[in-house]
Every structure is written in C-alpha cells, then in structure tokens.
Structure 1
C-alpha cells in the first residue's frame, strides 16, 4: 500500500501547546486529526509567557492528556522565561532532553513534525532519525543563531562569537538530518539554502493568523461607513528591543494639525517605560498607550483600527521574517503600515495593501501616516479588501495546513521507500 493512500501516524514536537497560546502547532494538530491522521504531540508543561507553571499542572516524568482526537504527552521542563541566558538555555535544553523520554510514545510514527521556535526542539527527532529512521520535518519559526546572538540573552562581541561558533556546526547537522525544512517566508527559505540546506528539502509555508471567523466578519473601522473621522493607527504586540517602536513614536509626534489622528500602542514589554518617556518628551499627545490587552480583547483592537502598524528593526534576519501581527491584520481586512524590510514590504507594495517605508526612517514613516490619512474612506475599504483577499489565497489556515500535509506525506514516502529496499 502506498502511504499517500492512507492516514499517517504523525508526532508533533513543540515546546509550547495549549493552554499556552501556541496557534500553529495546536491548529495544525487538530486540523491533521480532522483530516483522518493519527496525531500525537510531545510538549512541555505549560508556563509561557509568564514563566510560571499554569494552575492545575504539577510536573512529573510522564503526563498524558487529550486534545480532542489528539493525544498529548507532556515532559518535564525547567520553568523560566527570564532574560538571563543560563535560565533561558536551561528552559530550552530541558525540553529537548526530556523529549527523548517520549521515545516509546513516538516509536511507530510515520513522520515527525518539529515546531522549531527553538531549534533545540529537534534533539529528540534527530535521535529518532538516527536510531529508527523516522524522518522529521523542521518548521523553522526563528532563524538561529541570529535569534540567539541578536537578543538580550547574549551580550558582548566575544560571547556572540562563541555562541555563533558553537551553534552553526550543530545547526548544519540538524539540517542534514532533516527530511524537509520549512521556512515561514521566501527570504528565510533563501537564507536556508545559503546555509547549505539542499534545495529539494526547502519549502516555504506562510504562517496563518488566528482566524475565528475573521474571514466572514472583517473588523477594521474602514469596513463601516460609521467608522468615524480622522485616522486610527494601532500597534498591538510586544514592546521589546526589536520592534523599532521609538521610530514609530517619533513619526507619530511629527503628525500635527491632522484632526482625529491617533496612534495607539497596545501591549507591554521591556521598552514600555522608555517609549512613554519619549512620547512625553516629544509632546506627542496623539500617541496613546493602552497597556496589555487580554488575547480575547483583540476583536476590540481590530475594530478600532484603520491601519495596523507593523515595525521591526533593520536586521538581516528580519528580512525573512513575517510578524504574526501582519497575518492578523490581513485576515481581518485591515491594511498595514510597515517598516519591515524584505518580504513584508514587498508583499505590501506588490499587492497594494498598505504603505511601506524603510526601518528606522522617521520622516518616511511619518509620510506613510500622512498618505494613509489622505485616503478616502472608499480607498481604505478597497485596500482592506485586497488585504483580506491576499490572506485568504496565500496565508489562510486551510492553505497552510494543506501544504504542510503534502510535505509530511512526501516525507513519509521517503521512509517507506528506504524501508522497502
């Protein structure tokens, strides 16, 4: 029997899973199960993002539960979301090592899917590949070593060189061991090729948003003729070191004399107090800080938006990054104003779904704000319709799951052929 004609036994390895907000692995597991596959998940005990174990959980060597038709095996983990490098390293490595203890749980898998927010999650799948021949698909969410060396966890040029020198050979071995490697953007896929990953292994699958009816009911202000006057720009997300929000605040402060112009910043993070101080120093009364909003409150955030602002600093790694807020905006029919170089800006300009300027360029971003303000309500609605149409065609959950399922089937076939010889 050819394996493409039957359901697969799929094991998903992801450090994060529900009740943590881990949209991609959770929705992929459920969707693959709905398509008739037997799906099992190896994950840690829930503690992200606060770095505290969720109520109702007590760590032990083995814990089994069910998520509908999906069987879940939890393994012990060092609970931490500290900026301390050693604590974060312990968090990542403890899951990687503990996952090896789930070897029997994964023993008869046709294929393993690794949700690689951290590349360390690939440790057990690499072992299963070496000892059993079980192929694994690596879905790279954050490109290492840059995601490590570019973060606040590693400071100083010597430390960065040491970490880079240690990680690159190991990453090369992981890529060679994998049967397929998925990048989340075209530029990321090209960067993987530049790192020696074989071309036939590399695939691109754009991440999807949390849809929850977004396709049927776009939420932006521009969708309603009663949406109000002026322009409501919203940034919603982490207020961190990579988001380039000082450029956003400075651009907002340059917008004067435009009635009804507001720039609302939703979220919290290590840069929050500095950004508030900057806004006060600049006299930017049109910049409003909302603080953290519960995930369930995002409907309100989208409903208040004419445009979502999607910024990132000018780092090479971000040229192959598509922030999740970008998909969320498009899924809800809300155009974007972005400073993300590379794929995001290319998509925005090519499909006319917002405005793009270079990262760190305050004047250019302020010009984008003014251009958005000058659009008629009808033009804003049309831009939002194009945004949603692009999402539905290229980024929707159904499109992503179908593509990943194809890759898993093709990878499982590779194992079948090897076993037969």
Structure 2
C-alpha cells in the first residue's frame, strides 16, 4: 500500500508511536509518507536545528517526512493551545497533494484536529482514512485545566460535536486505545463494525535489571517519567511521598511540563527531601532510569475521559518488568489489579496514595519481582509492538480495499 501518516507529533519529539508505525509498515514493504509539524513538544519551542518554513522534507530511513508550519505552544493558555492545534489542522490540510497518491491515510489523533485534513480530503473524493483516537474529544478539552467550566465548555462542545460526528461517520475505521474508549466511541455514533480496540505499545527489550543495592530496610524507590502537567495529579503524589518518608519512600520525577515550577515550589514549602526532579531523558535511556527504581508511577487525575484511556507510559513500565503504582481509574486500574502487576490507589486522594506507597515499601523483594514479571507477561500478550502494528496494518488494508477511488 501507499500510506500517508498524519500526526502533529513526530520524532525528534518524544512521541514514538507514529514513527514506530511508519518504520514498521515500511519494513513490511509498504510505501510510507508522514505529514507532521515542526518539532516543539513538550517545551512549546521549536527544536534546535529546525526553522519553520512553508514546506520541509527530510528522510527517516525509508520514510519521507513532510513538515508544515504551526503555531508552536504548549502553555496553559487555552487560546494559545487551541491556536497550536488549529494551526496544524489548517496547515496540514493544505498539503492535500501528499494524499492524492495514497491508498489510505492513517491519523494519529492525539488531538482530533489532526483529522481535519483527511476528513476534508475524503469529503472531496480523497483516500479513505483511519482515525487512531488517543484522547476523546471534546472531553479532554472541556475537562482540562485550560478550559473553564460552564459557558466555555458548552461553547467548545457545541463547536466540536457536529464535526466530530462527521469525522467518525466518514472514517473507514476508528481505533480506540482502551475498552471503555471503544464503547464510548460506539455510543457517539461510530458504527460498531468500524470501531476497533488496539492497545498502544512500547519498546520491547529484556526486562531491566535493577542497579539498586540490596535493601537493608523497607524501601520504595518510585519514579515518575513523562509530562509534568496539570492533569498528572503530581501534587497529590508529592504530598503522599512526603507523608510516607518514614517508610523509606523516595520519589523521582523525570520530565518537564507546565506544572513543574509549581511542584518545585510545593516540594520546597513541604520540605520534602525525599522528592527530587531530573531533566527529561532520551527515549533510549529510559531503561537506565527504570533500572534505578523499585516501582514506576502512572498517575492522572480522576476525570471521566481518563477512565477510558491507557497512558503510553503504562506499556513502557510493563515492558521493563517494573511493578506499577497507579492512580489512573477505570481500564488501567482494572488491568493492573487483574494481572496483579502492581499497586493501585484512588486519584486525588493523598491518604490513598500514601497507603499504596507504604505498601510498596513494605513488600518483600521476591513479591515485588513477581509483580514485575506478571506485568511483563501482560505486555507480551496484549501490548507488544508487533501485534499492534499488525492490527493497524490489517485495518489500513481493509480500508484501502473496501473503498472505490474517484
């Protein structure tokens, strides 16, 4: 097939799935192009070595990567963030010539606005497209910290809902990343035979071997690695870690984001000497980070939209063979509990998270290692890269064959 991948994010941004899919499809003999923006996530600043211009093409192995300009931003400002999303939607839609020779278009929909171009092209006789929904809209917008409730939420929903229904209806396939998300998409009008579950994946390698010395007393070295944003509920986590310092709990936060300055201030005000911050690390160095931890934290605030999502860091932790401590409610909590792959707690509840941290510190090393092994088994059976790419390849093939071209 000739496949066009549309994604607002692409390496060197630390969003690996679109590149994994592009390279995986190319390795299977397909001709793959990527349409993306200039790299600026998560800092909101254009990466060194890039300068925005109308069009730029580079090679990523066998994959041609075409970049279009956008308004670079990742701030808490609602206006600026929407400009970021909408600018890529409009800019990418002007690159319709890339889609003319494609048999099918794949949309990595972290923001649904990435689907605007494929939707428009399809409406005018272009290639079929498959939406890979990473965040439910408008839920993730109206439930976020940068859109106030009430009138603003109703306005955003009123604008987005009609277009979302049309985008779902025109899609040849819609992929959800969690069971609850798929059910929600069907309830919102996606035909049942076009709604599919494909879990996100992470790099698979051998499970990490810890570099920590043997524990002489109860201990829980807990690492959080990823976006330090308002929705990650890290203020609750910091307070819980501080409260559990006497149990041997130590928390390391690796990453960057809009909430980091406020978290640093909170740590200083609490005098939480068992909490430290590290700068973001490259994707290929994450296993070194995990090797210096007993547990990895996966956290989000308790919002309805998050109950039907699975953060990609969960797959990375499971792949590393590291036990999980999670506050993500819904599908994530059920997966971790059912597999006995870690400890779970209530989101936005300092006492519940503290209790989980204390339980983690008290757990014997053999039991902790067994949790990690069960997590890796869960990854191998449900979250592997090869199975995910194969599933998407099948959906793209069906979409390409199932629609006549004009």
Q: TM-score, normalised by structure 2?
A: 0.93
Determine the structure 2 residue equivalent to 1:250. Answer: 239
Q: SS of the residue aligned with 2:102?
A: coil
Counterparts of 2:390 and 2:167 in 1: how far apart (Å)? 25
> 1:222-233, aligned counterparts within 5 Å?
226=214, 229=217, 230-233=219-222
2:113 aligned partner: 120
Aligned to 2:86: 93
Q: Distance in 1 between matches of 2:265 and 2:49?
A: 39
**8 Å contact 1:266–1:293 — kept in the other structure?**
yes
1:362 to 335, 350, 360: 350
Distance 2:368 2:233 in 1: 25
The aligned residue for residue 8 of structure 2 is: 15
Aligned-residue offset at 1:257: 3.9
CA distance in 1, matches of 2:338, 2:97: 49
Aligned to 1:321: 309
Offset of 1:226 from its aligned partner?
4.2
Deviates more, 1:388-397 or 1:73-82: 73-82
Match of 1:136 in 2: 129
Deviation, 1:27, is 0.8
SS at match of 2:26: helix
3-state DSSP class of the match of 1:331?
Answer: helix
- Aligned residue for 2:52? 59
Cα distance change on mapping 1:300 and 1:196 into 2, 3 Å = same
Task: Tell me which of 15, 19, 26 is aligned to 1:26.
Answer: 19
Q: Is the 8 A contact 2:70 2:87 kept in 1?
A: yes
Q: 1:355 to 1:162 in 2, by over 3 A?
A: same
1:220 touches 1:333 (CA, 8 Å); kept in 2? no
State the Cα RMSD in Å: 2.1
Does the 8 A contact of 2:287 with 2:320 survive in 1? no
After TM superposition, give the deviation of residue 32 of structure 1 in Å: 0.2
TM-fit CA distance, 1:256: 5.1
Task: From the superposition, tell whether residues 269 and 95 of structure 1 become closer, same or farther in structure 2 (CA, over 3 Å).
Answer: closer
Kindly tell me: are residues 127 and 293 of structure 1, through their superposed partners in 2, closer, same or farther at Cα, counting changes over 3 Å? closer
CA distance in 2, matches of 1:49, 1:252: 26
Q: Displacement of 1:338 after TM fit?
A: 1.0
Query: Does 1:155 pair with 2:143?
Result: no
Deviations 1:315-344 (A, max 9, x none): 100101111221111110001111111011
| Residues 100 and 280 of structure 1, relative CA distance in 2, 3 Å threshold | closer
Distance 1:265 1:18, change over 3 A: closer
Which has the greater radius of gyration?
1
CA distance in 1, matches of 2:51, 2:252: 39
8 Å Cα contact 1:111-1:408 kept in structure 2? yes
Cα deviation for residue 33 of structure 1 reads 0.1
Distance 1:10 1:380 in 2: 43
Output the CA distance in 1 between the equivalents of 2:91 and 2:260. 35
Q: Is the 8 A contact 1:73 1:102 kept in 2?
A: no
Residue 172 of structure 2: which of 179, 195, 198 is its match? 179
Return closer, same or farther for 1:152/1:414 CA change in 2, 3 Å cut-off. Answer: same
Q: Is residue 168 of structure 1 aligned with residue 161 of structure 2?
A: yes
TM-score normalised to structure 1 length: 0.90
Q: Give 1:72's aligned residue.
A: 65
Q: Which residue of 2 aligns with 1:48?
A: 41
Q: Distance in 2 between matches of 1:385 and 1:337?
A: 15
Partner of 1:218: 208
Distance 2:349 2:87 in 1: 41
Q: Do 1:11 and 1:109's aligned partners in 2 also have CA atoms closer than 8 Å?
A: yes
Q: Does the CA contact (< 8 Å) of 2:76 and 2:258 recur in 1?
A: no
Deviates more, 1:356-365 or 1:387-396: 356-365
Mapped partners of 1:196, 1:288: distance in 2: 45
- Determine helix, strand or coil for the equivalent of 1:31: helix
> 2:216 & 2:109 partners in 1: Cα distance?
42
Question: Given the superposition, is the C-alpha separation of residues 178 and 20 from structure 1 closer, same or farther in structure 2, using an over 3 Å criterion?
Answer: same
Unaligned runs of 5+ in 2: none
Q: Which residue among 102, 111, 129 is the counterpart of 2:104? A: 111
Counterpart of 2:230?
241
Distance 1:404 1:108 in 2: 20
